[in-house]
Structure 1
Amino acid sequence: MNYYVIYDGNCNLCVTLVQLLETLDKGKLFHYAPMQDEQTLLKWGITAQDCEQGVILIDGNEPQRRWQGSNAAEEIGRLLPVGSIFVDAYRALPGMKWAGDRFYEQIRDNRYTIFGKRSSTYESGYCADGNCKESKS
């Protein structure tokens, strides 16, 4: 199985989380494309307006299956080894999904103010299009 993570390559928090996923997964399950890579996003019919709603996760075997925002973050967590235990527990707690969605929206909408903006777009070494550029940390 392959999944594609579409992330904000200019967001310090987003890049840090992608780098953590890269370390944990080593490209076995996840490949990445920054939201700034318009050419790659066009292949999936993803627009800049779509990206405004946050991270996108695409099922590589069924590209029409997609998650976005906090749902994508939860699905990424669920796909990690033993991650489903934590995601299922989180989802089972009354009100946590609602609170988590609101928290995600606040972080998404204020990410540059809170975490800063990178001077250059981060390109993963586990790129979605197979034409990986040199990563810029």
Structure 2
Amino acid sequence: MNYYIIYDGNCNLCVTLVQLLETLDKGKLFHYAPMQDEQTLLQWGITAEDCEQGVILIDGNEPQRRWQGSNAAEEMGRLLPAGNIFVDTYRALPGMKWVGDRFYEQIRDHRYALFGKRSNTYESSYCTDGSCNR
């Protein structure tokens, strides 16, 4: 199984989280493309407006299956070894999903002010097919 993560390659927080996933997964499950890679966005039918709603996770086996924003973050966590235990616990706590969604929206909308903006777009070495500009 392969999943594709479309992330903001100019966001310090987003890049740090991608780098953490790269370390944990080593490209076995996840491949990455920055939202700034217009060619890859076109390939997946993703618009700039879509990107404004946050990180996107695409199921490589069924590309019509997609998660976005906090739902994508939860699904990524669930897919990691033993991650489903934490995600299931989080989802089972009354009100946590609502709080998590609002928290995600605040971070998404203020990410550059809170965590800074990179001067160069980060491109993962575990890129999506054809998206590496190396």
TM over 0.5: yes
Contact 1:125 1:133 in 2 (8 A): no
- Where does residue 96 of structure 1 map in the other structure? 96
Q: Distance in 2 between matches of 1:22 and 1:126?
A: 8
- Where does residue 6 of structure 1 map in the other structure? 6
Question: After superposition, what is the alpha-carbon deviation per residue over 1:74-104, rounded to whole angstroms, capped at 9, x for unaligned?
Answer: 0000000000000000000000000000000
The size of the alignment, in residue pairs, is 134
Instruction: Give, as a single letter, the amino acid of the residue that structure 2 aligns with 1:43.
Output: Q
Contact 2:9 2:122 in 1 (8 A): yes
- RCO higher in 1 or 2 (8 Å CA, sep ≥ 6)? 2
Contact 2:90 2:96 in 1 (8 A): yes
Q: Distance in 2 between matches of 1:77 and 1:87?
A: 7
Q: TM-score scaled to structure 2, two decimals?
A: 0.98
Shift of 1:131: 5.0
- Runs of 4+ in structure 1 over 3 Å off: none
1:72 aligns with 2:83: no
Identity of aligned residues (%): 87
CA-based RMSD = 0.8
Instruction: Give, as a single letter, the amino acid of the residue that structure 1 aligns with 2:23.
Output: T
Structure 1: where are the runs of 5+ without partners? none
